[in-house]
Amino acid sequence: MSTAHAQLPTLTVENTTLPSGSLWRKFPLIGFAVGIISLVIAFVVAPTNPTDHGEGHTQFYFSYLTSLMFWASIGLGSLFFVLIQHGTRAGWSIVVRRIFENWMATLPVFLVLIIPVILGMGDLYHWSHEAAVAEDFLLQHKEPYLNSTGFIIRAFIVIGIWSALALMYYRRSTAQDRTRDEELSRKMRWWAPLGFVFFALSLSVAAMDWMMSLDPHWYSTIYSIYYFAGGLMASGAAVILAAMALQKAGVLRGAITTEHYHDLGKWSFAFMVFWAYAAVSQFLLIWYANIPEETIFYGHRLSGGWDAVTILLPVLKFAIPFWFLMSRHVKRNRMLLALGAGTLLLGHYVDMFWLIQPNMSIALGQEHSHFGLHIADLLALVGIGGIVVGTFAWLTARAPTAPVGDPRLQESLRFENQ
């Protein structure tokens, strides 16, 4: 046993709970206030649609949906992480698992955050207009699935599934802090395979309904996998930054080590590569087939200024992070790892922007899409982020910052990369 192992920290409820004066305890109120105010301002300053006599708010709803999918992906990636750690009985991740649990436990908030998307369906989704369906044979063919009632029902069902899984694992994990009951670990392992099934089906429905149906004439069978991979990458990056912030706040020092950061860096790196694989696979299949109904997706993103974003995206989300994070030394240097995590999150937001915003031309009835940034995009990002991060901070402050009751915690504290 190494010298470091001989001096393993003892984690208790008391020394893993944030101090009463910590900024983390004040941030929920600040985050909620900033979030709500930012969203209200975004709605006010977003331009109205001239075609709707000043009554449509397409820009706001597209900005809102972009940020919604960005923040939701972090919670979803964290939920998958928790499921797979229990399903595989992983030991290394136990000390950082609570941070993932806190991110995943923000998912119930989306039961409220999805409401503006439902209210803005007429501005977002071309298929939601009866007149459009009446003039389009393909939309008529898809109407049994693509209809407003079905969309709303499915939205609450999938978020309900996420919320049920997240709260079940969160409550059992935090209950174990008090009871030290090993049976809770067994139950969480037992539910993990079923959780994978519900997770995969619900995420696929959400990605198809909320994003892919923005262009109802286009589809891709790899679209949900693309979103899934990006979310897992983003969740790892978010946890890296959160873990560093928690240690700066005075908890988990000596518990989350360079070894854990190394593996968190590998998690984000691996799913960044998987995302790139999915992206290239989708592009090559569409390019090779050269079917107009499929190539229109890239047609919208290779003209009107979007070509620059299309080139920037793989550079920002793959090329730079690949050569940066591939190094073992970078993943073991906290300052450089934080820089890499921030770059991945920035690239992930650009990806959500690239996926969603070009479809605004369809909603507005325009033939071509034109790239543009609006202050509403930033305000929506801050607005939803304030609410989600505020919820994350509240969850972090109300329970120990590590699963101190897990029977294999010592194994995680002793973890070393080989």
Q: What pTM, to 2 d.p., does this model score?
A: 0.95
Residue 142 reports pLDDT greater than 70 = yes
369-400 burial, b at 16+ Cβ within 10 Å, e below that, comes to bebeebebbebbbbbbbbbbbbbbbbbbbebb
Angle at 52 between CA 49 and CA 218, to 5 degrees: 75
Residue type at 222 in one-letter notation: I
Burial of 189 (0-12, 13-18, 19+ CB in 10 A): middle
> For residue 279, what pLDDT band results from cuts at 50, 70 and 90?
very high
Beta carbons of 100 and 239 less than 8 angstroms apart: yes
Which residues, in sequence order, are bridge partners of residue 244?
A: none
pLDDT at 363: 86
> For residue 48, what pLDDT band results from cuts at 50, 70 and 90?
confident
- List, for residues 105-133, the tens digit of each pLDDT value: 999 999 999 999 999 999 999 999 999 99
pLDDT at 7: 78
CA–CA separation, 42 and 391 (whole Å):
21
Query: Which SS3 state, helix, strand or coil, does residue 56 take?
Result: strand
Backbone angles phi, psi at 405, to 5 degrees: -90, 0
Residue 198 reports pLDDT greater than 50 = yes
- List, for residues 214-237, the tens digit of each pLDDT value: 999 999 999 999 999 999 999 999
Which residues, in sequence order, are bridge partners of residue 49?
A: 56
pLDDT at 353: 97
CA–CA separation, 278 and 126 (whole Å):
27
Enter the tokens of residue 134: 């009446």
Counting residues of the chain whose pLDDT is more than 70, the rounded percentage is 97
Query: Which SS3 state, helix, strand or coil, does residue 242 take?
Result: helix
CA–CA separation, 102 and 188 (whole Å):
16
> For residue 8, what pLDDT band results from cuts at 50, 70 and 90?
confident
H or E element that contains 44:
helix 23-45
Residue 4 reports pLDDT greater than 70 = no
Of residues 415 and 54, more confidence is placed in: 415
- Taken in order 341, 342, 345, 350, the sign of the CA dihedral is negative
Enter the tokens of residue 158: 């999938």
CA–CA separation, 415 and 171 (whole Å):
26
- List, for residues 374-387, the tens digit of each pLDDT value: 999 999 999 999 99
CA–CA separation, 212 and 28 (whole Å):
33
196-209 burial, b at 16+ Cβ within 10 Å, e below that, comes to eebbeebbbbbbbb
Give which of 199, 267, 200, 224 is closest to 355, Cα–Cα.
Answer: 224
Q: Which conformational region is residue 272 in: left (phi greater than 0), alpha (psi within -120 to 50 degrees), or beta?
A: alpha
Residue 5 reports pLDDT greater than 90 = no
Spans of all domains in the chain = 3-413
**For range 311-322, the mean pLDDT:** 95
Residue 49 reports pLDDT greater than 70 = no
Residue where the block lists tokens 């120990």: 400
Backbone angles phi, psi at 300, to 5 degrees: -65, -25
Of residues 96 and 367, more confidence is placed in: 96
What's the Cα-to-Cα distance from 240 to each of 78, 90, 215, 398, rounded to whole Å? 12, 18, 35, 20
> For residue 6, what pLDDT band results from cuts at 50, 70 and 90?
low
pLDDT at 165: 98
Return the number of other C-beta atoms located less than 10 Å from residue 135's C-beta: 10
pLDDT at 53: 39
Of residues 180 and 365, more confidence is placed in: 180
pLDDT at 366: 81
Residue 418 reports pLDDT greater than 80 = no
> For residue 369, what pLDDT band results from cuts at 50, 70 and 90?
confident
